[in-house]
Amino acid sequence: MTTARSSATASTSASDAGRIAQSPMFDTLSDAAGGPSTCTPGFEHQPEPCQADRFILVQDERDRRQLPPHGRGSRMRVFIVGTGNMAGGIATRALAGGHTVRLVGTDPAKAMTLADALAERRPGADVAPAVPDAVGSADVVVLAVPFDAAKEVVTEYGDRLAGKTVVDISNPVDFSTFDSLTVPADSSGAQQLAEAAAPGTHLVKAFNTTFAGSLVAGEVGGLPLDVFIAGDDAAARDQVAELVSSGGLNPVVVGGLRHARELEGIQLLHMALQTRPGGHGWMSAIKIVAP
């Protein structure tokens, strides 16, 4: 088993497995895990249960008008671990940028459902489910899972992430109070992931301040989302910045990975505001505005 949930069994149908096997970045359907999904499209850790594929209810104007990709750079192979709200949001932007997307879930059926929904919304998009072993051909790996799961994933993927750009999008927040981070004050979730990862893994913090629903839309209030980026490897930061800008968003490189702490802190406040009267329905964005 090569996903973080190692005890589960495969639940993909024969026809699904056949389709997955045809995917260029897909090696073998070695194993998979099942389990109920509770999510709310575009919302983080809300109580209402839903299915992962419900994120398609949020329409992307740019996708609907079928405009060409934003970017003029090279096509990246983006490997996303997770099949929930953020996986859908980041995949939407990556596909808008003309990149290839592969999705790995604990349950192959969820990866298939999400891939189908994304392909339906962007005909011709190169998106498909994959198995963990396919990570070898990825240019960028996105950890679209909860923080604790991300630690398990980087440990389990180990050396296969060495030399790759790995994006941590997590918010290690105490979700019972929305009042504190769960990592020590002199550290961050991203720094802990970097310590857990194999040597040579280029850990980059990004997308943690963008709510999933706004990512699908690509904008809030008519303005493109800012995506704050922190990382120690300049080439990896640039690669994530290119991924962001090609998808129609605005990259803001803030510096080294030590600044992930501030990004997680500001998003803690942003999330806490949603839970208060007058909150913005998990659709607001943090943006730098200048004359």
Ligand X SMILES: NC(=O)c1ccc[n+]([C@@H]2O[C@H](COP(=O)([O-])OP(=O)(O)OC[C@H]3O[C@@H](n4cnc5c(N)ncnc54)[C@H](OP(=O)(O)O)[C@@H]3O)[C@@H](O)[C@H]2O)c1
Q: How far is the CB of 98 from ligand X (least distance, A)?
A: 23
Q: What residues line the site for ligand X (CB under 6 A)?
A: 3-5, 35, 37, 39, 44, 82-87, 105-107, 110, 144-147, 149, 152, 169-171, 208, 210-212
CB closer to ligand X out of 69 and 112:
112
Q: How far is the CB of 82 from ligand X (least distance, A)?
A: 4
Q: How far is the CB of 112 from ligand X (least distance, A)?
A: 13
Distance CA 254, CA 45 (A): 27
**Is the Cβ–Cβ distance between 201 and 164 less than 8 Å?**
yes
Q: How far is the CB of 263 from ligand X (least distance, A)?
A: 10
CB closer to ligand X out of 288 and 290:
288
CB closer to ligand X out of 35 and 255:
35
- Give the 3-state DSSP-derived string for the chain, with helices as H, strands as E and coil as C: CCCCCCCCCCCCCHHHHHHHHCCCCCCCCCCCCCCCCCCECCECCCCCCCCHHHHHHCCCHHHHCCCCCCCCCCCCEEEEECCCHHHHHHHHHHHHCCCEEEEECCCHHHHHHHHHHHHHHCCCCCEEECCHHHHHHCCEEEECCCHHHHHHHHHHHHHHHCCCEEEECCCCECCCCCCCECCCCCCCHHHHHHHHCCCCCEEEECCCCCCHHHHHHCEECCEECEEEEEECCHHHHHHHHHHHHHCCCEEEEEECHHHHHHHHHHHHHHHHHHCCCCCCCCCCCCCCCCC
CB closer to ligand X out of 41 and 97:
41
Q: How far is the CB of 66 from ligand X (least distance, A)?
A: 26
Distance CA 248, CA 72 (A): 11
Distance CA 184, CA 285 (A): 26
CB closer to ligand X out of 26 and 69:
26
CB closer to ligand X out of 83 and 92:
83
Q: How far is the CB of 52 from ligand X (least distance, A)?
A: 6
CB closer to ligand X out of 76 and 167:
167
CB closer to ligand X out of 35 and 158:
35
Number of residue whose CB is nearest ligand X: 84
Ramachandran bin of 35, using left for φ above 0, alpha for ψ from -120 to 50, beta for the remaining angles = left
Q: How far is the CB of 251 from ligand X (least distance, A)?
A: 16
Q: How far is the CB of 198 from ligand X (least distance, A)?
A: 18
